[in-house]
Amino acid sequence: MSSATKSDLRHMRQAISLAQASVGLTGENPAVGCVIVVGGRAVAQAATAEGGRPHAEEQALDQAGARAEGATVYVTLEPCGARSSGGVACADRLIAAGVAQVMIACEDASAFASGQGAERLRAAGIGVVLGMLREEAAALYADYRPAAASGGE
């Protein structure tokens, strides 16, 4: 991705590293890393919790609190647009927090994301960049096979 800055790449690599530490521990859900950045500095970071919940974005937004407003979010997998649990989707949480931009490494084929998360963010006026360090993050999801209505991220 030619327009990514060194800072963008560093933050996305941090998100990838967070996710790598959770691979194999998240049940049916994929391991996702999320870093929230304000003014070039990470203000919050998280990975999908053991067992698959809470999601990475959910935890990072809780850590960031009001600092998430206007932030750039780096996430290894497209934020969910719906939740199998019926809870608030990560895309909706990001919108409610007032983030300015979401950088996404990989699209999510889950029925709970599959373009829905990115589309919701865009519809709310949030900048979305897909494919940042996709090749580096893809290994995280080599064994992730979302079912049509499983508990995807």
Residues serving a catalytic function are 57
Q: What are the respective helix, strand and coil percentages of the chain, to the nearest 5?
A: 35, 20, 45
Tokens standing for residue 131: 């494919």
Q: Are strands 72-77 and 33-38 parallel, antiparallel or unpaired?
A: antiparallel
Q: Please state the φ and ψ torsions of residue 70, each to the nearest 5 degrees.
A: 80, 5
Helix (H) or strand (E) holding 94: helix 90-97
CA distances (Å), 114 to each of 50, 138, 147, in order?
23, 16, 12
The distance from CA 131 to its chain's CA centroid, rounded to whole angstroms, is 12
